[in-house]
Structure 1
Amino acid sequence: MRLMGSIPAEIGAINKLTYLNLSHNNLTGELPSTIGNLTQLVMLDVSSNSIDGEIPHEFINLKKLVLLNLTQNSFNGSIPSEIGYISSLKFLDISNNNLHGPIPSGLMNHCPYLKLNNNFLNGSVPTRITDLSSLDLSYNNFTSNYPEKTASYMLRILSAFMLGVFVACGVFYIVMLLYAAEDLKDAERRSKSEERRRNNADFSIWNYDGKVTYEDIIEATNDFDIKYCIGTGAYGSVYKTQLPNGKIVAVKKLYRMESENPSFDKSFGNEVKMLTEICHWNILRLYGFCLHKRNMFLVYEYMEGGSLSFVLANMMEKLSN
């Protein structure tokens, strides 16, 4: 599918654009002067279209332009002298257009590859051409017989230069890929950090002499491996585990089905509130709790010589009296 219509002036708003290739389409109309706003542009290729009008003088703003390809269009008018001031320009192909007038003298000062053939250019050929790598002036109306009225004057092959251009483009894309990969890694790190933050948002530890996180509990129980289980009951299973500082605790993991009960949140909150307000030597200390979509558990002081369910039942019985 080929693009049709004219190039919109709004393209000049993409001021960070570095490569613009619109070649081999059915584009018509003039090249908008807003192209001059693309000050980061390195390559511009609009070859093989039906673009007419004059070449914009605003090209003088493209200080980083290396390659400019306008061949196979219907550009008219003269070659803007401003193009001769783009010191970064190394490749210029404006062949096969309707251009007339002389060659700007500054154009040959720094651009080693020039294709100006198949136009209506006239006047004399500038004498400063010995520093060029490739020059094609064929099929124009020049009056000078230098150099020997040859239709095409090729000074030397430009393969080394073209190779350099392709290598530079390759390096540019590799750098862009590396930056993109680093951005992806940063996004993944931010995502993992956010996930950890969400995991800890509903996890709370208090009345404890060490720092404990959700990950500490999961790691200490090996994600609630059965080998750490020391008892089961109607509402959950109890795991004995050792925290990073060496302290032994009991973790009561509640069954998943409990959370599906509409009254679960209320009863869970009441149990936590009650246990945090009680301070008695004969009642287990509650260190903390976790209410999460993956895991729900309570972290208790571990007591040797009895099951947690027995102690809790005994505690509830005493409270009811």
Structure 2
Amino acid sequence: MTCIRSLWWSARTAGEAPFDTAHLKVYYPAIATGSDTERLSGVFTPDPSAAPYPVVVFLSGVNVGQDSYRGFVTAIAESGFVVVTFDRVAELFGGQRGLTVGVDLDAARPDAYGTRPTCPAIGTVLDALTELNTQGPLLGALDLNRVALGGHSAGGTVALQSARFFPAIGAVFAWGAHTMVATMLGWPAGTVLPAQVACPVLLGVGTNDGVIKGSADRYGEDGADRPDPVARTFAEALPPGEHLLAVIPDANHFGIAEADPTAARAFLDGPDDADAVRPFARMTSAFLRTHLCDSATARAELTELADANVLRPHLSEREQC
């Protein structure tokens, strides 16, 4: 019987000890045999029927624990992917410490943007997965030539700012993320930076996203009267390509996560009046199977969603039709 299991790993990242370690959780399709080894260790063998599996590296929002995304990433794994999340306690800004995927702020300044990834930890995680693929339960189970990069909130932003620097990345997706940049980094108010991507992108956002609205002053804007930054990113920041935008009515910023009321900024969010986990997981799965697995069935599913106005194709795609 096929099921989704997970295992833990660690990787050394930038920073001074003890704030220099990423703790990875790796979700994978497994096969349950009922063996004594499973019973005694809790370790299940990867399902060999579709191995090696394409890989998804998912970047969390600031101060949002990786287990907050368990429902969403498990749904992705169920469609035939190994999905990796990680927690990393390190410096945020101004001497504060918290959960962060790690942002190289200097790489986001006007004199450096586009020369290197804003999230160096992506490379560290890919190196750790290479190591995992050579030993233990996941020996040979990962196809590291077929990788997607995803993220939520700030994690989605750095995914959009970093993807093209890692050649194996063939698709990018993000929820509640955009490429507007803070004025404190030296950019004019309202600046939307070009995404650093060389592959298809899927962006998702809910109409009740209160966190993006509540952060407008970071970008020198008024949150009550501004175009949606995610829609602006979709329209202005992406190169020509097979990009898609999903706007889910009544979903909020934490629509694909289980919000923790004691941490992060969920207190800014709008009402959570719609389930975004299942529909966005379905869209993401079809998107990834299209671009990492060359699935005609998945491509037809995306076409149906676009025809039903659930997904919006990028302007460059509409112009080509």
Same fold (TM over 0.5): no
Q: Which has the higher contact order (CA 8 A, sep 6+)?
A: 2
Q: Whose Rg is larger?
A: 1
TM-score of the pair, normalised by structure 2: 0.24
